[in-house]
Structure 1
Amino acid sequence: MASLKSFASVDRFVTEIASPATLRPAYILLGDEVFLYDRCRKAVLATLAPEDTRDFCLHDLDLAETSIFEVLDRAQTPSLMAPFQVLFVRNLKTLYGRGSKKEEFAAIDAYFRAPNPQALLLFVADHLRIPTDLRKMDYQDKERFEKIRETLGDWCGTVELARVDENDAIKWVTTTAESRNIKFDPDAARELVDSLGADMMLIASEFEKLLLYVSGPAAQPIEGVIPTEARSAQWRDPRISSEAPRTSPETNTTPLTKNRVTLGDVETMVLAAKQRSLYELTDAISAKDRPRALLLLHGLLNASDGGEDAAIGHLYMLARTFRQMLIISEKNVRDPRAIWQVLWQGFRMPPFAAEDLIKQARRYKSRRELTRAIRLVARADLELRSSPANKLLVLERLILDLSTEPKPTPYDPTHQFAMEL
C-alpha cells in the first residue's frame, strides 16, 4: 500500500523499531487516534515481543497505579525469561499534574543517560486530541503537546497519532480492499468515510463487515417471490403493474460472490449511512425546501429494505432528531463540542452530524416551531399505525407540513377578553 500522509508518522515508527540500529530507548505515542495506536502496538508486539515469550516480556503499566520510579526500575532490570522488555506506560498526564515533579523528571533523566538497550518504553499520551491539521489544535492540547516534547523529546521519539484525513481514509479503504481482491467503488468508499466522520476504528470495523457481506454467498431469489426492487417500484410509480416479473431459477445467473462493494451496499449495511440520509432530510425540512425534502424522502424509502413498511422506524428517527434540536435550541448550543454536555449517552447523534444539527436547530425561531414539528410527527405515527390506505401519502403530507412555515394564529378578541376576566 502506498504511504499516506496521515499514516506517515506511524509508518516511520514501524520502520525504526524493525532495526536495532534505529530503535530508540523510548517513544511517546501522542494522540487519541485508537486506530493508529493499534497499528503501533501490533507492530511492536510482532517485532519485539514474540508470542512464546510475551507473558514474560510485555508489561502494561498505568502511572495512576504505578509510580514512574517503579516503571523505570522494571525497565532497568533484565528479565531471566525473555531477552527483551516492552513496557507500555499509560496515563502520561499524571506526570504533568499538580506539583513540580522534580524528583520524577530527575529519575527519568538519569535513566535515559544510561538506558537499558534490551528494553523499550512506550509512553501513551492519549489525553491529547490532535486534529488532521496541527494548526487547528485546541490551545490547551497544544500547550500539553509542547510541554511533553520539551521534557521528554530529547530522549524519546515522538509518534503523532493525529486524526486521519478524509481523503487518506478513502484511499485506505480502496487500497486495502484491492489487496484482498475486492473492488471498493470510490463513491461507496467516500460514503463510508463521510457517514462515520472519518473515525478510523469505526471505518475499519464496518469495512470488515462489508467485505464479508460481498464475499459471502449471494442471496438467491426464491421462485414466485417479487424482488425488493420490484416491490418498492410498485408504490413509487403507480404506472408499474402489480404483476411484476417473477424470478425464475432457470434464468438466475447471479454469481456466488460479487467481490465488489457498491454505494448501495454501504447504505444497506452501515447504519450511519442511513442516518446520514435522514439528517439530509431534516436539513431540507429546516430550510423549507419542499421539493428537495420530498426527493430525499423517496430516496430514504427506496434505500430501505422494507420500503414504506419501514416508515414507522423513519418517523421514530425524525422525532428523535427534532427532540435533539429542541434541546440544542433551548441550551443555546453553538459549539459541537458542547453537545456532549447537553445530550446524554444514548441520545447523541453521530459525530459527523453534530455541526449540521446545530445549524438546523438555529433555523427554527422558537421552541414552539420545534414542538409543532414533534406533534406533526406524532400525528403521522398515529395515522400509520391505524392502517391507512396509502402510507406513502401520509409520509408525503407530513414532509410537506414540516417544510411549510407555520401559519400565525389568528387574533381572536374573545380570547383577550377571557384573559382579562
Structure 2
Amino acid sequence: MASLKSFASPLRSFASTDRFVAEIASPATLRPAYVLLGDEVFLYDRCRKAVLATLAPEDTRDFCLQDLDLADTSIFEILDRAQTPSLMAPFQVLFVRNLKTLYGRGSKKEEFAAIDAYFRSPNPQALILFVADHLRIPTDLRKMDYQDKERFEKIRETLGDSCGFVELARVEDTDAIKWVTTSAESRSVKFDPDAARELVDSLGADMMLIASEFEKLCLYVQGKQLLLNPQISPSTNSDREKSTTELGNPIRLGPSTITLGDVETMVLAAKQRSLYELTDAISAKDRPRALLLLHGLLNASDGGEDAAIGHLYMLARTFRQMLIISEKNVRDPRAIWQVLWQGFRMPPFAAEDLIKQARRYKSRRELTRAIRLVARADLELRSSPANKLLVLERLILDLSTESKPTPYDPSHQFAMEL
C-alpha cells in the first residue's frame, strides 16, 4: 500500500479524514471520542493508521490498543476500561465496533446515561473511536438512503455533543483518479490519465480495490522495465533512473509508465468492462455493435481466438446472473448483494447496467435460450472447429436475434460446466 504521506491531499473526498488526521496530531485539538461513520474501508484504514502512528507507537501498542465489539462487550465495561489508566502505557486507544448494537431494540436509557456521564469528565489519556460501518454514505449526501439517513441522524442526536464525526463517504471518481496519479508520482511512476480513468471506472471508484490494483500495476511495470534492462538493480526507484552502461553505451531509464494497455492486461474488471458492453449490445439486439465488440474483445485478448472458451465462460456466467436478477425481480443495485452469493457477483460498476440488461428480456425462456446457445458454441469450440471465429460470430448473431417459438427437441439440450 502507498504510505500515509502519499495519502495527504486537498481532495474533497478526503477532507473529513484530513481534518481528523490533523486533529489527533495535537493534544490541543484531540477530542475524547470520535464516530467513524460509513463503510468506506479505504478511508477507515487511513484513519486507523493515522491513530496508531500518532497515539499508539509500536513499542507500547500491545498495552495501549484495544479492539472491542459491542456485540461481545457491554458499553459499561468499555467506558470503565477507558476511565481506568493503564500502568504500562501513557495513552489508551479503544476501537469500538458494532455501534449499531446501541440502537437496537429497547430504549437503552441506561447505556446512554453512562455515556453522558463519562463524557462529562472523560479520561484525557484515552481516545474512544466508535465504528459505525453499518451506514453507507454516498458521495453526494443528498442521495443517502432514507434508512441510513435516519440512522445517521439518530447517532448525531445521541453522540454529536460528545464526539467528533468523521464521514467515510464514497470517493468521487475525479478524486480517485487524482489520488492514483499523485500516488504514482510519489513512487517515480507515471500513470497515464486514460489508464487512471479506466482503473477507477472499472472498479467503480472502490478505493480499497483501486489501492490494491494500483500496487500490483506499479510492481508490474517496474518488473517489465527490469526484464527489458536486466543490468539495472531493482533496489530503489532512484537507482533505476541512474545512468548505466551496456556494451559501453550509456543507458538512462526514466520513470516507469503505466499505460491503458497495462490496466487492461492486469486488472480483471477492466477486461470485464468490454464483456458487459458486449452483453449490452446483445440484449439491445444491436447486431453490428455486438460483432464489433466481439472483435475488439478478441483483439485485446492475449490469446486471441484461443481465449474464446474463457470468453464463453464469462458470457454464460453473465447470462446466469441476469437470469437470477430477472427471477428475483431485482430493481435496485444494492439488492444484488442479497440475491447473488459471494464469488458469483459482478464488479460494482456493472451492477446497474446488468439490471438494465436483464429487464430487456421479457421471459425466463429468453435467458435460458441464451445460456443454451452459449453451451452449444462451447461444445463446438471444444470439438476443434476449422474456424473458431466463425463459431463465435454465429453465436453473437444468434444471441442478438429475437427468439422464435420452436417445438421442443431433446437434441437441442447441451450440458456445460459453468
Normalising by structure 1, we get a TM-score of 0.85
Contact 1:191 1:263 in 2 (8 A): yes
Q: 1:392 to 1:332 in 2, by over 3 A?
A: same
Structure 1 residue 415 displacement after superposition: 19
SS in 2 for 1:325: helix
Mapping 1:113-192, distance limit 5 Å: 113-192=120-199
Bigger CA drift: 296-305 or 33-42? 296-305
Shift, 1:406, TM fit: 2.6
The 1:353–1:150 alpha-carbon spacing in structure 2 relative to 1, beyond 3 Å, is: same
1:141-172, CA deviations, whole angstroms, 9 ceiling, x for partnerless residues? Answer: 11111111111110110000011111111111
Q: Rate the CA distance shift 1:198–1:248 in 2: closer, same or farther, 3 A.
A: closer
Shift of 1:416: 23
CA distance in structure 1 between the aligned counterparts of 2:417 and 2:141, rounded to whole angstroms: 62
Q: Residue 340 of structure 1: CA displacement?
A: 2.3
Aligned pair in 2 of structure 1 residues 409, 349: CA closer, same or farther (>3 Å)? same
Q: How many angstroms does 1:346 deviate by?
A: 2.2
Are the counterparts in 2 of residues 60 and 89 from structure 1 also a CA contact under 8 Å?
Answer: yes
1:304 shift after superposition: 1.3
Residues 296 and 416 (structure 1), Cα distance of their counterparts in 2 relative to 1, 3 Å cut: closer
Q: How far off is 1:49 after superposition?
A: 0.6
Q: Deviations over 1:309-337 (max 9, x none)?
A: 01001001111111111222222222222
Q: Distance in 2 between matches of 1:386 and 1:321?
A: 24
- Consecutive unaligned residues in structure 2, runs of 5 or more: 6-12, 222-229, 238-252
1:265-322 Cα distance to aligned partner (Å, 9 max, x none): 1110011111111001000111111121111111111221111101001001111111
Task: Flag structure 1 segments of 5+ consecutive residues without an equivalent.
Answer: 215-244
What is the DSSP-based 3-state SS (H/G/I as helix, E as strand, rest coil) of the residue aligned with 1:122?
strand
The 5 A counterparts of 1:87-126 are: 87-126=94-133
Cα 1:246–1:288 change in 2 (3 A) is farther
Distance (whole Å) between structure 2 residues aligned to residue 309 and residue 416 of structure 1: 25
SS of 1:418's equivalent in the other structure is: coil
Mapped contact 1:191–1:266 kept (Cα < 8 A): yes
Aligned to 1:349: 346
> How far 1:32 sits from its partner (Å)?
0.8
* Residue number in structure 1 paired with 2:227: none
CA 1:250–1:258 in structure 2 vs 1: closer, same or farther (change >3 Å)? closer
Query: Whole-Å Cα distance in 2 between the matches of residues 121 and 385 of structure 1?
Result: 60
Q: Distance in 2 between matches of 1:110 and 1:378?
A: 67
Distance 1:414 1:175, change over 3 A: closer
Within-5 A mapping of 1:285-304: 285-304=282-301
Cα deviation, 1:91-114, whole Å, max 9, x if unaligned, reads: 111111111111111111111111
CA contact (8 A) 1:183 1:260 kept: yes
CA contact (8 A) 1:4 1:168 kept: no
Deviations 1:74-132 (CA, angstroms, capped at 9, x unpaired): 11111111111111111111111111111111111111111111111111111111111
Provide the residue aligned with 1:248 in structure 2.
233
Aligned length: 388
CA RMSD of aligned residues (A): 5.9
In structure 2, relative to structure 1, the CA distance for the partners of 1:389 and 1:65 (3 Å cut) is same
- Identity over aligned pairs, percent: 93
Change (3 A) 1:282 1:83: same
Decide whether the 8 Å contact of 2:4 with 2:50 is kept in 1.
no
- Displacement after TM superposition at 1:366 (Å): 2.0
Q: Which has the larger radius of gyration?
A: 1
Aligned-partner Cα distance in 2 for 1:417–1:318: 16
Q: Distance in 2 between matches of 1:84 and 1:250?
A: 38
State the TM-score, normalizing by the size of structure 2: 0.85
Cα distance, 1:63 vs. partner? 1.0
Closer, same or farther: CA 250–400 of 1 in aligned 2, 3 Å: farther
Distance 1:331 1:15 in 2: 47
Greater mean alpha carbon deviation, residues 31-40 or residues 102-111:
102-111
Give the distance between the partners of 1:329 and 1:30, measured in 2 at CA: 34
Shift of 1:344: 2.5
Distance 1:17 1:395, change over 3 A: same
